[in-house]
Structure 1
Amino acid sequence: MRANVNKTNAIYKPPTLPASARLPVNRCNLPAVILGSLTYQRHPVPLEIDGISHFHDDLFRTLATFPTHADRAQRFQDYMTVNFLLDELDEAGLMPGRGRKSRANANYLRQVRGWSFDSDGREGAVLKRWVESRFGLLARHHAGSLADRNSEVYQRYISDGSRGLYATNALESQLDLLYTYCQYELKREYPEQTHLTLYRGINRMDEHEVQSTCESDLQCVLLNNLNSFTSARERADEFGDYILETQIPLPKILFFNRLLPGMLKGEDEYVVIGGVYEVSINTI
């Protein structure tokens, strides 16, 4: 059953990203006010983090010579290990000490798996703060609302993100390259597509910020700056009484379960960068 939607006779204007949900600067080719808007969802263009494709051009030239996804995934992981000295911690400058083991595990794979286990945990805070830095989209929720910058919830979010990055080996740069590799693979897998239809199960509508009634029978919702979706509607049913269905631009997919071997728990999980989205809200 489709959730009720109130309509008006006013002239419809696609909602933009509220100023409270964005930063004035970021590190990609579009400002947050554009890439977080409904217009971007409808008419996406590629997003590029500053300098990453150019700096790692040799990796992507090499990947183009591998015909299978599995071979490319292995080559990418090998490149990450060598380029970021993930198996050579002493050369990376990690000193002996009590925190050595935990810092040794603080790499891009640990962040992804930590997100899958608990998106409100330390790894989730690192990923959300990375989205803030690279795309300028502010987190809206992390174990509670982040609307009040003076709240204990917000301070804990900042603390978790900072502790998660402390003494790591260029962790944010690892995430930059993970996103860029994900975009490379999506372009190869879906050369003629701009969007994927994805689903998200939720229990309470008041956990999401409804901006306005969209055209037709859809609603415009401001999502958190990072969110889990699934490509299987029956999987979304397992996570709540309401199902959000929407068209996700490929450039807003940070990673997905099939990108690397054993990457996520969910068989059909996609981790999606937020902003304003036009969604269909259905009840189970």
Structure 2
Amino acid sequence: MEESPQVTTSLPRHARLPINRCNLPAVILGGVTYQTHPVPLELDGVRAFHQHLFTLLAPMDSHRERAALFVDYMAAHFCLDDLEQAGLSPGRVRKSRRNANYLRMVRGWSFDSDGREGAVLKHWVETRFGLLARHHAGPLDGRDSDAYQQYLAAGSHGLYGTNALEAQLDLLYTYCQYELTRQHPEETHLTLYRGSNRMDEHEVLGRCDDGGSLVLLNNLNSFTSERERADEFGDYILTAEVPLAKISFYNGLLPGMLKGEDELVVIGGVYAVRMDTL
């Protein structure tokens, strides 16, 4: 993918935080130059802390076997089947809170990305990558707006009383990147599509020389690998070359993970895209 010489816009200041918890600042990983020339993104300390998991995964040739090991590791490490052992007092936390784990967040996103689980995931992207949410049940007009405060409240409520939920999401992303590297060893990007009827989710910043658009995406977005599937979700189709490093999770990562057969959930920022109408 070649960058137009006139496309120089980076991630706007109002769409980023000054600090994050990965190896690149938001202003870099959220810009068009990163889309064109990506490097791996690593969350601080996650791979090193869970190195034993990746040592166990290394000799496994079967994706299915690796997925099963990952699920078992998550259950054991985070005591997902024995929350009292994790420190949650029996009877003091509602069942819905006790079951709020990484799989519930992902499945909740699949059913309603503007729901509580979606708020948790978007907040996770904010803290880990420094990319501010731009849309949640409507446009988020600045961090002091009522809409943004309501979004923060939803995310905080979704995290309350959970068992290291953000650490679970950290490891899910890290495992996703490990799998993508194994399955696409010679690739840096995937061509993905997004259908939408709500163009206010996408802030158009300018035009590219090739006729495409420079768009500020929400900090977390659903895409599909099949153009025909994107047609089912709206009259506007965005086509983007998405760096593998910006794929946070996808349907085939774990069995039954998402309801969409070809759904991939992509970290946002500024992208050069092609925008078509049906």
Q: TM-score range by the shorter chain?
A: over 0.9
Corresponding residue for residue 74 of structure 1:
68
Do 1:94 and 1:100's aligned partners in 2 also have CA atoms closer than 8 Å? no
Q: Does 1:164 align with 2:158?
A: yes
TM-score, structure 2 as length reference: 0.96
TM-score, structure 1 as length reference: 0.94
Q: Does 1:209 align with 2:196?
A: no
Corresponding residue for residue 242 of structure 2:
248
One-letter identity of the residue aligned with 2:105 = Q
TM-superposed CA distance for 1:83, in Å, is: 0.2
Corresponding residue for residue 61 of structure 1:
55
Partners in 2 of 1:111 and 1:204 — Cα distance? 23
TM-superposed CA distance for 1:57, in Å, is: 0.5
| Aligned pairs (5 A) from 1:126-145 | 126-145=120-139
Q: Does 1:101 align with 2:95?
A: yes
Q: Does 1:40 align with 2:30?
A: no
One-letter identity of the residue aligned with 2:143 = R
- CA separation of 1:206/1:168 partners in 2, compared to 1, >3 Å: closer, same or farther? closer
How many residue pairs get matched? 274
Higher mean displacement: 198-207 or 248-257: 198-207
Partners in 2 of 1:233 and 1:34 — Cα distance? 29
Q: Does 1:122 align with 2:116?
A: yes
Q: Does 1:186 align with 2:184?
A: no
Partners in 1 of 2:196 and 2:136 — Cα distance? 15
Partners in 1 of 2:66 and 2:15 — Cα distance? 36
Do 1:17 and 1:36's aligned partners in 2 also have CA atoms closer than 8 Å? yes
Do 2:98 and 2:161's aligned partners in 1 also have CA atoms closer than 8 Å? no
Deviations 1:95-152 (A, max 9, x none): 1336431122110000000000100000000000000000000000100111143433
Corresponding residue for residue 4 of structure 1:
none
Alpha-carbon RMSD across the aligned residues, in angstroms, is: 1.1
Corresponding residue for residue 262 of structure 1:
256
TM-superposed CA distance for 1:13, in Å, is: 4.0
Deviations 1:229-250 (A, max 9, x none): 0001010000111100010000
The runs of 5 or more residues in structure 2 that have no matched partner are none
The runs of 5 or more residues in structure 1 that have no matched partner are 1-10
Do 2:201 and 2:217's aligned partners in 1 also have CA atoms closer than 8 Å? no
Partners in 2 of 1:170 and 1:206 — Cα distance? 33
TM-superposed CA distance for 1:155, in Å, is: 1.8
Do 2:21 and 2:129's aligned partners in 1 also have CA atoms closer than 8 Å? yes
